[in-house]
Amino acid sequence: MSLRPLRLFLVGFVFPLIPPTRMFGLKRSLLRWCGAELGVNVRISSSARFQTNGPLRIGAETWIGHQVLITGGTAPIEIGQWVDIAPRVLIVSGSHHPTPGAEKAAGAGVSVPVRIHDGAWIGAGATILGGAEIGASSVVAAGALVRGVLAGGGVYGGIPARALRDSEKGGTEQCE
C-alpha cells in the first residue's frame, strides 16, 4: 500500500510535538494511519520526516534516528528489521533522467526502489539513493553515498561507497 500524502502532511505537524525519543507507539500508529507498514517496536525519532508517495515498509526493532529524511517518488522503500539508521541520513527514491544541454537538465522524473536488508547499520549523514540495496548486517560509514548494490556483511564508506572490509576477508580495518 502506498502512503497517503495528505495524511502524511498532517502527521508532519504532529511529530514535532511528540518527545523525540518517547511515545514510539503513537508515532507508529500515525505512520500506519498514513499507509506505512511497520513491524513491532519500530522506534522513530520525532524529528524524522517522511515525504514519499510510494510504499514504505519498516521491519521490527528498527531505529530511525534524529532528522532522518525519507523522500522520493512512488517506488517502494523497504527497511528490514533490526536496522539502525543514525541521525541525518537521507534516503531518496526519486530522481530525474538527466538531459544535458536541454533547457532543463533535470529531465523526466523517475522513482527507483530502495532496499535496506535486516541488521544493517547506516551511519550519520549517509545518503542512500534510488536503486540502492544494502545487504544484511552491512555497515555504511558516516557520510557515505550509496548507489547500487552493497553485499551483505561488509563495511562500506566513501563517495560513492566502496568496500572498506567485507565479510569474506574478515579483516580488522576500521570504518572511518
As annotated, the active-site residues are 96
Spatial distance between the Cα atoms of 26 and 167, rounded to a whole number of angstroms? 38
Measured at the CA of 57, the angle between CA 16 and CA 176, to 5 degrees, comes to: 75
Spatial distance between the Cα atoms of 129 and 146, rounded to a whole number of angstroms? 6
Q: CA torsion 25→30→31→34, rounded to 10°?
A: 160
The three-class DSSP label of residue 26 is helix
Which of 174, 88, 173, 77 minimizes the C-alpha distance to 134?
77
The three-class DSSP label of residue 46 is coil
Spatial distance between the Cα atoms of 17 and 2, rounded to a whole number of angstroms? 25
